[in-house]
Structure 1
């Protein structure tokens, strides 16, 4: 069901999003070569709880963790795994949701552990830029296809990378996943029209090798399914939760108050 959010609801989701963004900012300087992915899980879960909120992913479809942690060719939905140590040059995607008093937010971010490389820098730059090209199209009166077309053109035509099709953005609040479905590919001027009051996620997943396809893998200990790039190339993802308003798209999970200034809610 597609629901339109009130100003009060959007402000509550912005508070949730601020907690989520702060958790990402807390995490970034703590990543190090040799770090166990379970330590990331604990850091994020403890941070969320310390801010009077809960990790929304716990319990969704039987999921047991606060975070999804996907490394290198892992595209999405991989779990934190005890004993899995981060290595130099690892590309790490950390994705999680926050529930603050019923108000939801969702954001993923990509990090490089230790030293980067030109290939990694370029992949991360393309994925981050693709997110913001999509956000710029999330104007009231535009259509979902405008978001996807902008992302697809930049990723595939301009940078010859793989724009993942099978995993998409979504509406959010009060449930974590709601209508509408937000595709990161498509045809401009087609699809559902965006309306003020919608709150959505845009979360492009970009494979460096040019193949947008996925393979399904399984965590042996738990049977949990996750996804890797079909060509086993590195993958990056960035995700924001944003509200569609009369004044345009407003990011609710911003980590950059200066760079995101045009996309921030006006303070009352």
Structure 2
């Protein structure tokens, strides 16, 4: 069942999203060479709690952590690992959800550890642009296929990178994952029609090597599944939570009020 959110609910999710976005901004200067991924987990969890909220992923399907932390060819759902030190040129995606007074938000962001490279810069630029091309299509009356096609066409046909298909966006609030499914590929004018009041995530995942395929791996000892690029190329992800309104998509997890000005409530 798809729930349409009221203006009050969207405002609450916007406050939740502001806490989440602030946590990501905090990480920009904290993720450095030699850092243990467990430190990222603690930084995020403590930041969320200090702002009167909770990390929504804890307890979902037995998950024990506030964050998912995926490195280099890890596409999604990898865990924070004690003793795993970040190296120069590592590409790190940090994904987490926030619950503020029952209002949910969800956002992932990819960071470069230490020095970047032209390959990394291009991967991040393509993935970030793909996110915003999808957001621009999240208009009342458009369809889910319009979002997916905008992302797929750019990533595959223009950037010649791999547009991951198996992992998708979703509706959100009051639960973390709700209907509808938001695919990052598709056909224009096909799929579910978008309505005012829907709140969704758009979260393209891109493989630098050109293959859209992923492989499932299992973390030892804890029997937790995560995903890597099938060609072992670097992967990136950018994700926002947004509300679909009569005046256009409104990003609820914005980290940049200037860049996102046209998409703010």
With normalisation by structure 1, the TM-score equals 0.99
Equivalent residues in 2 for 1:185-200 (5 A)?
A: 185-200=185-200
- Residue aligning to 2:184: 184
Taking the aligned partners of 1:64 and 1:210, their CA distance within structure 2 comes to: 33
RMSD of aligned alpha carbons: 0.4
Alpha-carbon deviation of 1:221? 2.6
- Residue aligning to 1:97: 97
Taking the aligned partners of 1:3 and 1:34, their CA distance within structure 2 comes to: 44
Q: Provide Cα deviations, 1:218-237, integer angstroms capped at 9, x if missing partner.
A: 11131111000000000000
- Residue aligning to 1:257: 257
Equivalent residues in 2 for 1:11-90 (5 A)?
A: 11-90=11-90
Alpha-carbon deviation of 1:163? 0.2
Taking the aligned partners of 1:28 and 1:37, their CA distance within structure 2 comes to: 14
Aligned: 1:127 with 2:127: yes
Taking the aligned partners of 2:193 and 2:169, their CA distance within structure 1 comes to: 15
SS state at 1:170 partner: strand
Unpaired segments ≥5 residues, structure 1: none
Taking the aligned partners of 1:260 and 1:51, their CA distance within structure 2 comes to: 23
Moved over 6 A (4+): none
- Residue aligning to 1:161: 161
Taking the aligned partners of 2:159 and 2:16, their CA distance within structure 1 comes to: 34
Unpaired segments ≥5 residues, structure 2: none
With normalisation by structure 2, the TM-score equals 1.00
